[in-house]
Amino acid sequence: MKTYIAQRLFVAGLTLFGMSVVIFALLRLAPGDIVDVLFSAAGYVDPSERQLILEELGLDEPVWKQYVTWIAQIFTGDLGKSYRYDLPAWEIIKPLIPVTVELAILATIVSVLLGVPAGVMSAVRQDTGFDYALRVVSLAGLSMPSFWLGMVIILTLVAWLGWIPPLTYVSPRENFWLHSVQFLLPALAVGYRSSALIMRITRSAMLEVLREDYIRTAWAKGQAGRAVVWRHALKNAILPVVTVIGIEFAFLIGGLVVTETVFNLPGVARFLVEAILWRDYPIVQNLVMIIAIVVIFTNLIVDLLYGVLDPRVRYGG
């Protein structure tokens, strides 16, 4: 087990190194830089002023040197300064992380609570009206982009109630009720889409397991339906579902851009897009690395969970 984790951490390190090169290179390959954006807001470009700003930000250095400086900064715990805000990058990134993590966790909870039971029930009542209804609902969830659903929620609320959730972040200590409302609605919008996917995976995994001999034996022995479905069948069908939940959670950390924008939540994804448009390299590079770390470790945790959920799974040395 220890060897397995060590191997995975080594691969994670390699992946992060690769990511750092890719994101660094891609940012430099994209046309324009922060200086162009600054001049764009001023409506003109002065080549001598431009050169001075490039020097001030260290963007006149050779690209390899900029990369080495960045990596060295990471190892010293200094993420550099935001070009746009002229403030330490960590100072800007830090408050964004809890917002996105909370939203992703809530959305994942919503998707699991909706998706897994729906998938199980749909499989148990295969080809009934109930199954068809659930499949239609799940297909709708997959077809509806969560940002669209988010906008529909906002517009419906404002049209019917003349009210929308708060548009500036309310901390739970400040007002727990408002905080919950602020996060629950986007979590529902995002969670619905994820739940549709989880429901479909759960259904197909369950259908496969329900046809196994040991399930038939359990039925034959006269075990209670509930016990057969939830204790025996679901336990054996859950592995692919857990994988999907892990992937979905990891995706949400960086993929909430539009939902955060529609609900005006100050999270990582919304800020990342803004930083990309601004060519704010220190913010983008470090945020992408943070997201990559979350994705890698989520996958690792999911892999380790396999052993807990299925004792047959052994981690090779």
Partner 1 sequence: MYPRSLVTTVVALGVAAVAMSGVPAVGQAPRPGGVLNVTQREDSPQGFAIHETSTISTVWPAMPCLSNLVIFDPLKQQESAESVVGELAEKWAWQDGNRSLVLSLRKNVKWHDGQPFTSKDVKFTFDMVRGAPDAGKLRINPRKGWYENVEAIEAPDPHTVVFRLKRPQPSLLLMLASGYSPVYAAHVPPAQYRTTCVGTGPFKVKEWRKGEFIDYVKNPDYFIEGRPYLDGMRYVVIKERGTRVAALQAGQVDVSFPGDMSPTSGEQLKNAVPGIVVRPTHENVNNNIIMNMKKPPFDNAKVRLAVSHAIDRRALTTAVHQGGGVVGAAMAPKPHGVWGLPEKELLALPGYGTDPAEEKEKARRILRDLGFTPQNPLRVEMATRAIAIYVDMASFVINELKQVGIEATLKQVETAQWHAMATRGDYQIGANLTGIGPDDPDANFYENYVCGSPRNYSFYCSEQVEKMIEQQSAELDPAKRMRMVWDIQKRLEQDAARPMLNWRLDHFTTWPKVKNLVPHQSLYNWGRMQEVWLDR
> Binding residues for partner 1, per CB under 8 A?
31-33, 36-46, 49, 52-53, 56, 84-87, 92, 95, 151, 154-155, 157-159, 162-164, 166-169, 261-264, 266, 270-271, 274, 277, 279
- DSSP letters for 106-122: HHHHHHHHHHHHHHHHH
C-alpha to C-alpha distances, 226 to 121, 129, 153, 231, 233, nearest whole angstrom: 11, 20, 36, 8, 10
Q: How far is the CB of 147 from partner 1 (least distance, A)?
A: 9
- DSSP letters for 84-100: TT-SBHHHHHTTHHHHH
Supply the DSSP symbol for 227: I
Closer to partner 1 by CB, 92 or 104: give it: 92
Closer to partner 1 by CB, 76 or 168: give it: 168
Q: How far is the CB of 189 from partner 1 (least distance, A)?
A: 13
Closer to partner 1 by CB, 185 or 295: give it: 185
Q: How far is the CB of 230 from partner 1 (least distance, A)?
A: 41
**How far, in Å, CA of 95 to CA of 90, rounded?**
9
Phi, psi values for residue 84, rounded to 5°: -75, -45
Q: How far is the CB of 307 from partner 1 (least distance, A)?
A: 41
Q: How far is the CB of 54 from partner 1 (least distance, A)?
A: 11
Closer to partner 1 by CB, 32 or 98: give it: 32
Closer to partner 1 by CB, 31 or 317: give it: 31
Residues 6+ apart with CB under 8 A from 72: none
**How far, in Å, CA of 301 to CA of 303, rounded?**
5
**How far, in Å, CA of 119 to CA of 207, rounded?**
10
